Each structure stands twice: as structure tokens, then as C-alpha cells.
Amino acid sequence: MATAGNNKGIFKKILNVTSGNFLEQYDFFLFGFYASYIAAKFFHSENEYVSLMMTFTVFAAGFLMRPLGAIFLGAYVDKVGRRKGLIVTLSLMALGTLLITFVPSYDQIGIMAPILVVIGRLLQGFSAGVESGGVSIYLAEISTDKNRGFITSFQSGSQQIAVVFAAILGYSINVMLGPEQVGDWGWRIPFLIGCLIIPLIFILRRSLEETEAFKAQKTHPTGKEIFQTMLANWKVVLAGMLMSAMTTTTFYFTTVYTPTFAKRELDLTTSESLLAAVVVGLSNFIWLPIGGMISDRIGRKPVLVGITILAIFTAYPTLNWLVNDISFNHLIMALLYFSFFFGMYNGSMVATLAESMPVRVKTVGFSLAFSLATALFGGVTPMVSTFIIEKTGDASMPAIWLMFAATCSLLASLYLCKRLPNKKAVYQETKA
């Protein structure tokens, strides 16, 4: 009974803390999926490619704010606590969401329309810079040495639920409304629903308990001490960024960019691209805890190294096969294969990154490494993919970008795993 009670308490904490992750990914997925509609409403151009590139550039701009959020908000979380800090990040995320939802179109307010959309994305990016890191560190601190990979996998697991929910909602709107209605005002409905669930997420996060690991720290670092520690550990942060490259690149290709890729490059319907996103989200949700559990059993290194090598040698053949024999079924098969990469790798990667950071600055260290990876790899994936396809005329080329990210992650994983020969010793200082 005690074990059942403990498990219930842990999963309640997981629900409370990952609720903000749900909102973050829900909004990011919507922005990517409705990129063509947002481009038409806010970024006028006679050239569809230019308009779409402008939209994906704004999408990427939000990620460029993540490192700043990681540094300043991450330092705040490490100083005042996980609970208080994560409530602040949720507030900023909610403000950005509200702004994007209700901004009038370019035809109504002119140049202020794209400016306000950019501000909304920057607020979301600043908040997201520490959201994933803060949640991951919270989960790492309530876990044990035997289940840390499994528990931390729910950080990304909550994002997969958001993708599935957003995709199903988008599919329903696409069925009920005509293309002109969706383009005119229907695309705002999912964003509005996101605004309506914000109060519920605030309630969940306000009931969040502070971690015992944080409360056990007798002193907490000042801002100056945090920055000094981060400078002293810059190699670990850089390696953490590169280790996260494959996770962020694969995720944003298979979720955010897939709807645009399926419609623009494969000539599939909007409904088919949305159904594909649902399948990918469900697949990710299954593979994430499996990857985490396997890494808890056999170690982080075999999972990280094995998956990156597999991605390097098979990503291009897989996407090239899809492009040369286009069908909805083949799209699903290719995305499920990439989903396997993401879920297995990320299930181990999050725990490894948490275990790699200095104890007193875990949140800012994790957040900075992950946000840099998201900014330089994942966040620009839709933009890079659109650009290289346009320049080469080969719709298979995004796989080269994925292979490059996998190579970076392989080298970084070897470096960080070498620094952590005994993962069970990592949290002893925190628990002391």
C-alpha cells in the first residue's frame, strides 16, 4: 500500500509540473502547423516561399530567446526554488499565447500585426528557455537512481500529448470548416482553446510541492555565483547543447515541420498531415518511457550511441524512399521510424543531461544547454528544411540536417558519458 501511495504521489507531481510543458508545446505546434495561414495573415508577400520563410523565421526567433530565458529565469529558479520559478515561466508563456491569439491581421492594423506576433513569440521563447529545463530538473530530483530515466521521460511525454491534442483539434476544425473559413478565422480557434485552459494549468502548478533536494540545500547560489559556475563549466554546457541537437532536430521535423512538408512537398492533404502528426505524437509517447527505462537498466551510453549511429546511416535513405514513392502510408512509416529515434534517444538524453550539470546550478545549466540546442538546431529546422529544399530541389535534403545533428550528438554523448561513469553517484551531493 505504501508503494502504491508513493507512486500516486509521484505521478501527481508529474502531472502538476508537466502541465506547463503541455501548454508550451501546444502553442509551438500550432504556430508551426498553421504557418501558411499565419504567413497569409501577418507576413504579406507575392511569393509564397518568401512569406513562409518569414513566418518560419519568426518561429525560429522565439527559440533565439531561449538561451536568455535559460540564463536569467534559470538563475531565478535555482535561487528561489522550482515551484515559484515555474509559476513565473508559466505566466510569461500565457501572456505570449494571449497576444498571438488576439492580434488583428495585417489588413486591419498594418505593420503592427507582425510586430505584435514577433513580441508574442519572443515572450514564449523567453519563458520556454527554462520551462523544459526546470521541469526536467524537478523530475530528476523527485526520482531515484533506479528510475530517473523513466521519470524524466515524462517531461517530453507531456509535449507529445499536446501534439496529439492540437492535431486532433486541428483535424476537427478542418472537417467542420471550409478552407476559406480556416484561413480567415478558423486557425485562431485552437489558440483560443489554449488560452481557455491556462487557468487550469495555473491551478495545477500552484499546488506543486518544492523538491526535497532543493529544500535540503542549506544555501542557494547568488546570481554572481551562478554565472561564475556556468563559466567554469562551459565545456559541459557546450557538450550538453550538442548532445541535445538530435532530440530537438528530430522532434521539430516530425511534428512542427511535417504538416508543411506533407502539404508542400508531398502534395498530401491537410487532413492527412494532421493524422500523421497524431500518429507521431502517440508513437513518441510510447517510445519515450521505453528509452528511459532501458537506459536505467543498461546505462545511458548504449542507448545514446546506438540511436545516433542508426540515425546517421539511415535517415537519408528513409526520407529519400518516401520522396520517391509518395503515399500517406509511406509518410506514416517514415515518421514512425524517426519517432523511434526521437523517443529512444530523448528518453535517455534528458536524464543524462540532468546528471551532467553541477548540482547547485542544475536548472540554469540544463536549460542553457537545451535552449541553445533548440535555438541552433531544432527551432531552425523548419526554416533550414524549407531553404535547402528550395535551393536543391530535393525534398530528401532535410535528412542531411538530421544526420548532421545526430553526428554532433554522438560525439557529445561519448564525451559526457565518459565524465559520468557511475550515474548512481551523480545525485549523492544533492541528497546529502
432 residues of the chain, pLDDT tens digit each: 445 555 667 777 787 777 777 777 787 777 767 777 777 777 766 666 776 677 777 767 777 787 887 777 777 777 766 667 777 777 888 888 888 888 888 788 888 888 888 888 888 888 777 777 777 878 888 888 788 888 888 888 888 888 888 888 888 888 888 878 887 888 888 888 888 888 887 777 777 666 666 666 656 666 677 777 777 878 888 999 999 999 999 988 888 787 778 878 888 887 788 788 889 889 999 999 999 999 999 989 999 999 999 999 999 999 999 999 989 999 999 999 999 999 999 999 988 988 888 776 777 788 888 888 988 898 788 888 888 998 898 999 999 999 999 999 999 999 998 876 444 444 444 343
Phi, psi of 425 (to 5 degrees): -90, -10
Distance from chain centroid for Cα 118: 19
In sequence order, what DSSP letters do the residues of 90-125 get, joined into one string?
Answer: HHHHHHHHHHHHHPPPHHHHTTHHHHHHHHHHHHHH
In sequence order, what DSSP letters do the residues of 260-287 get, joined into one string?
Answer: HHHHHTS---HHHHHHHHHHHHHHHHHH
Q: How far apart are CA 20 and CA 85, in angstroms?
A: 12
Cα→Cα distances 304→351, 369, 415, Å: 11, 17, 11
Beta-carbon contacts of residue 27 (< 8 Å; ≥ 6 apart): 93, 96, 97, 100, 124, 191, 194
Phi, psi of 180 (to 5 degrees): -65, -40
Q: How far apart are CA 312 and CA 406, in angstroms?
A: 6
Q: How far apart are CA 74 and CA 137, in angstroms?
A: 11
pTM: 0.78
Q: 201, 158 in Cβ contact below 8 A?
A: no
Position 430 scores a pLDDT of: 39
Residue with cell 486591419: 108
Position 337 scores a pLDDT of: 95
* 74 three-state secondary structure: helix
Continuous H helices in 34-65? 35-42, 48-64
Q: Which domains does the chain have, with CATH numbers?
A: 2-419 (1.20.1250.20)
Residue 218 CB coordination number (10 Å) = 5
Q: 78, 362 in Cβ contact below 8 A?
A: yes
Give me 106's grid cell: 495585417
Give me 128's grid cell: 520556454
Residue 132 CB coordination number (10 Å) = 27
